[in-house]
Amino acid sequence: MALQKHLLPFFIVIIISYFASSYSSLQEDPLDNPGYDDGGSFKSVIKQNNAVLSLNRLVASISAKTVNVDSFGAKGDGSTDDTQAFKKAWEAACASQGAVLVVPAKKNYLLKPIKFSGPCKPGLTVQILGTLEASSDRSDYSKDSTEWLIFENIQTLSVEGGGTINGNGKIWWENSCKINKKLPCKDAPTALTFYKSQNLSVRNLKIQNAQQIHVSFQDCTGVQVSGLTVTAPGESPNTDGIHVTNTQNMHISGCVIGTGDDCISIVSGSKNVQASDITCGPGHGISIGSLGDGKSTAYVSGIIVNGAKLSGTKNGVRIKTWQGGSGSASNIKFMNIEMNNVTNPIIIDQNYCDQDKPCNQQLSAVQIKDVLYLNIKGTSASNVAVKFDCSQSFPCQGIVLQNVNLQKEGKGAAKAECNNVKLTDLGVVSPRCP
């Protein structure tokens, strides 16, 4: 231990030196897309976050205190309520610098809604090796029906381990108004929420059968998400895979997502969000929005989807806004994407209306501008492979299609439908707007 403490400053100096050199080099490595923000500043922020998280893991590995939930009375037998044991274990880990909270492998821990609240001592890691399973008793959520597991107000946190988070959502889906039209529409819990936190690493987890959204990041900055496998039946309602709201400087990579709603959804207040190496399907695709609901003001910018494969999804890459809203969705890039039998491969919908009654025509709209579609290929399950349904009052501006080749699955030819859009085609583009 004395040797470890002696070496700690030396390792910290190495990490800080690496961070400084990486930051410097990234200033000279822009994305080569003339006419658009080069993304260099965004990439440098991501590299800074990586350095901070690497330093966190180094400090934790050298001076870690292990906190095992079993030591606080958790049974992990799949039937005993382990919520209070997890609360006690969290309090102990949160109070210890560089602590590792361990959820042992080959056990199934039954949990009611629980908040893991900060502030905590720096360098905290939650290592999920076993399974966390949500209570299926809906009365357990009477105080707050919108959350199950929530981490809030924490700086520098890693959640990892290869284990499983099971939302046990079937009972919620059966009571959804989207499944049973006779029932009133009510909230259902998000399985895993990160709220008002900074410098997060969430990696190598299986998240399945959420009550509603699987994992949500709200009001966070500096987020790294990698190696997640997110699954739920294709007919499960509102079960978005990864939901991002009012969150900045985020990188999602190497994730496999198949649910009953959007694989990734990015909504208002989000900026500098990148998704790469994403496998999506079943589901509703990768969406920005919806934005502007209830005449609200929404801003989203600096979104990059670079490297994705979508199969059998309802949509491919989509931007959706309600009429009557305001604000903007801008500086967006969809690049290097493969579509396989996707119903709406490329779609901008400024007349989005997700309600039973028809939406009234409105004069205002969220402005959509500076959107690049680059190197997108594959097949469309419908005749319309490209659809730009933009606002007459606020037409889509600066839309660029470059090297886009989408063919109709089976017989027939794919086509494009384009309304109220200022468009540029570069290279081979098929289908083209008339």
Neighbouring CB atoms inside 10 A of 129's CB total 15
**How many residues are listed for the chain in this entry?**
434
Q: What is the pLDDT of residue 356?
A: 72
Same domain, 56 and 174: no
Same domain, 173 and 55: no
In a domain, 126, yes or no: no
Q: What is the pLDDT of residue 53?
A: 57
In a domain, 107, yes or no: no
Task: Round to whole Å and give the CA distance between 21 and 232.
Answer: 42
Give the CATH number, domain containing residue 411.
2.160.20.10
Q: What is the pLDDT of residue 408?
A: 97
Same domain, 46 and 177: no
Verify whether residue 243 is a known catalytic residue: no
Same domain, 192 and 311: yes
Same domain, 282 and 414: yes
Q: Which two tokens stand for residue 115?
A: 């908040």
Q: What is the pLDDT of residue 41?
A: 55
In a domain, 7, yes or no: yes
> Which residue is listed with tokens 């990059």?
304
The HSE-up count of residue 178 (CA atoms within 13 Å, CB side) is 15
In a domain, 238, yes or no: yes
| Amino acid at site 341 | N
Greatest alpha-carbon pair distance for the chain in Å reads 73
Same domain, 200 and 335: yes
Contact 351, 363 (CB under 8 A): no
Q: What is the pLDDT of residue 46?
A: 57
pLDDT tens-place values along the chain, 434 residues long: 444 444 444 444 444 444 444 433 333 333 334 344 444 555 565 566 665 555 555 554 555 799 999 999 999 999 999 999 999 999 999 999 999 999 999 999 999 999 999 999 999 999 999 999 999 999 999 999 999 999 999 999 999 999 999 999 999 999 999 999 899 999 999 999 999 999 999 999 999 999 999 999 999 999 999 999 999 999 999 999 999 999 999 999 999 999 999 999 999 999 999 999 999 999 999 999 999 999 999 999 999 999 999 999 999 999 999 999 999 999 999 999 999 999 999 999 999 987 777 887 888 999 999 999 999 999 999 999 999 999 999 999 999 999 999 999 988 899 999 999 999 999 999 999 98
Can you give the residue range of the structural domain that contains 416?
169-430
User: What's the structural domain count of the chain?
Assistant: 2
| Active-site annotation holder among 214, 243, 251, 284 | 284
In a domain, 230, yes or no: yes
Task: Single out the residue of 384, 403, 394, 386 nearest to residue 422, CA to CA.
Answer: 394
Q: Which two tokens stand for residue 38?
A: 């080069």
Same domain, 44 and 186: no
Q: Which residues contact 161 (CB under 8 A, 6 or more apart)?
A: 103, 126, 127, 128, 129, 204, 205
In a domain, 83, yes or no: no
Q: What is the pLDDT of residue 4?
A: 45
In a domain, 205, yes or no: yes
- pTM, full prediction: 0.88
In a domain, 344, yes or no: yes
